[in-house]
Structure 1
């Protein structure tokens, strides 16, 4: 997230999309794109699947595979365990959900990842259980450089990602007219 934010600030990219950190840069206009939650993923025969709802204590009993500290809501995962004075056994960190799924399939632990990255049809050997109640809602944001001129394809991409972000609203935000619109 830091790298993509800096790329936009230094005109190496038109847009940054991330869940962590990009709203912290005053040089960027950060707009909400979509919300998502975490899921715990495991092999189809895993004992945790017997539970109706998972707890942090349940997860802390197993080796965990999740995102690297700067990615995809990892801060919320760390904070949730810390609030309960639990120390999870994170055996592997990744920047990609497919890596998490691969290592879960190999039996190295329970994965914690974004729900939008799990597809029951494609991930046939895995099962997902919602854990948003443990880690909260995550907000993926789109960041653009303050005052930047954007080509029409950038507006189109943003509108495809988040239909509520119209060209007019984006232009207002880029001009600093954030008091004049609601998301």
Structure 2
């Protein structure tokens, strides 16, 4: 019984039982993987996979138990590597961050710069995706820390903590009639062509829920994942934009666009920071989380990582 066998079983499940793709992912041969899995099953005295001929068809019931144990073993192996990295290379290494475009563009630059100043030997690797992809990158240990607004708290494999609150804003050309109003209503917006985020990004769920609660059907003419793209199309006159407030904070006053707060229309959103449950966090990971939010501390994060029951809210 060895780690190679465990890795082959784990990757086979990730590749939906396709051993050809498993071999490609692990840079080895398909016959070698098949042999190693059969040897592990022989040692355990059970079938991890049900087969049809040479093809894997499904994970058996005892195989599910084996997979859970393998997950724990491989997680602890990765933790051992991180412990070794931390104590052999003090304050050095790579911090991998999974996040959405909005967070990467508008929120992370300041804490990333602070981290580089405090830990000059730490390199940063940014991975961008939608919230579900951010969660999966944490689960697959592609990233150590994740940041997003939607969905992160829905994954049992993750520990999530609230980092900060934010609201949407309505972005308009300065010449638009609604720009003359200081306070907008959902009824004002429902009759306008709207440009906002794709359904899985940046608090879009709250926007849809707000209109639905008033039995209004918004006319969303364009969806995007990038706030800058939304503002570009607003400038072109395609419609009224709804973006995260972070996307307008640095816009100079008196420009061609104006914005109005939307918190009273769409409510407050909570950006959450996430870690894989049971993972070993290096010192600079804790430090980066503290730089992200003054609500977070090493003690709080350590307590959350060791507490399966606590639900942390703002």
TM range (shorter): over 0.9
RMSD over aligned Cα atoms: 1.9
User: How high is the TM-score relative to the length of structure 1?
Assistant: 0.94
User: How high is the TM-score relative to the length of structure 2?
Assistant: 0.56
Mapped partners of 1:93, 1:17: distance in 2: 21
Mapped partners of 1:152, 1:125: distance in 2: 45
Q: Residue 156 of structure 1 is aligned with which of 283, 287, 292?
A: 287
Instruction: Give per-residue Cα distances to partners, 1:134-183, cap 9 Å, x unaligned.
Output: 1000000001011111122211211111122111111111111765x986
Q: C-alpha displacement at 1:52, in angstroms?
A: 2.8
Q: C-alpha displacement at 1:123, in angstroms?
A: 8.6
Q: C-alpha displacement at 1:120, in angstroms?
A: 2.9
3-state DSSP of counterpart to 1:159: helix
Aligned to 1:68: 198
Aligned to 2:169: 39
Alignment pair present for 1:79 and 2:243: no
3-state DSSP of counterpart to 2:234: helix
Instruction: Give per-residue Cα distances to partners, 1:102-135, cap 9 Å, x unaligned.
Output: 1111111100011111133189221000111010
Contact 1:120 1:127 in 2 (8 A): no
Aligned to 2:137: 7
Mapped partners of 1:66, 1:182: distance in 2: 27
**Number of aligned positions between the proteins:** 183
Mapped partners of 1:170, 1:39: distance in 2: 31
3-state DSSP of counterpart to 2:164: strand
Alignment pair present for 1:16 and 2:146: yes
Aligned to 1:114: 244
Structure 1 stretches of 4+ with a deviation exceeding 2 A read: none
Q: Residue 48 of structure 1 is aligned with which of 145, 161, 178?
A: 178
Relative distance call for 1:182 and 1:54 in structure 2 (3 A) is closer
Aligned to 1:141: 272
Q: Which has the higher contact order (CA 8 A, sep 6+)?
A: 1
Greater Rg, structure 1 or structure 2? 2
